[in-house]
Amino acid sequence: MPFRVKTAPSEEPVTLQEAKDQLNLETDEDDDLLTTAISAARGYAEAFCARGIVTQTVEFKLDRFPSRGSGAYAFHSCGFLACEPCRACQLFIDLPFGALAETPNLSVKYINEAGSETTLAVTTDYTIDALSLPPRVHLAYGKSWPTARAQWDAVTVQYDVGAEPEDVPAGFKQAILLLVASMYEQRTPEVTGSIVAKVGLTVEALLAPLKVYTL
């Protein structure tokens, strides 16, 4: 399930001034370095938690819609390998890098057998489960997934994830500030491993409750 960030965040979850306050810096000479460190720290936190922190647009592709025959849906909790009785195995698509933004602007498009791109209709064809982590796209009641053309990346799902900077959880922000401080203060190879290890453990402790776990 390859995915990419199609539109990067326009703002970071912590400001340059917040990073300078963390470090008790009053000069501007290292502003560029700190700006880069903030972006790198946010990227690490997002990768660790498997979710977008601040609002950004994500796109991922599938070769086909879910079906009972696809491995990812073969062991649904109903216990049936083929899942004929409940069809639950083919009802949803997991969305990587969630949680969804408050307004996710989600779209599901596919290449039909004639080679044309077709857009499914939210509510009519599918519903959005924004509460689950990872979030999901569910088939609407009584609907079946259409048949996509037999080609690579025939199905495209695009959506917005993350929150506005002022709404980012405190754990994310504090972890990013610690990472920025660590990167700024420990820029030489002479840094002792114990200091780095302690910072890493604190950062992971802050981020762990926000991590998205997938099967």
Predicted TM-score of the model (pTM): 0.84
Core vs surface per residue 6-37: b (16+ CB within 10 A) or e: eeebeebbbebebbbebeebeeeeeeeebeeb
What percent of the chain has pLDDT above 70?
A: 83
Residues 9, 94: one domain? no
| H/E stretch holding 119 | strand 117-119
pLDDT attached to residue 87: 46
Which of 161, 182, 202 terminates a domain? The answer is 161
Residues 116, 132: one domain? yes
pLDDT attached to residue 74: 45
Residues 128, 91: one domain? yes
The pLDDT of residue 52 is above 90: yes
Residues 82, 102: one domain? yes
Residues 46, 60: one domain? no
Distance CA 22, CA 184 (A): 11
Encode pLDDT of 83-130 as tens digits: 444 445 557 899 999 899 999 999 999 999 999 999 999 999 999 999
Residues 95, 7: one domain? no
pLDDT attached to residue 192: 53
Domain tally for the chain?
2
Residue 138: give the domain boundaries: 56-161
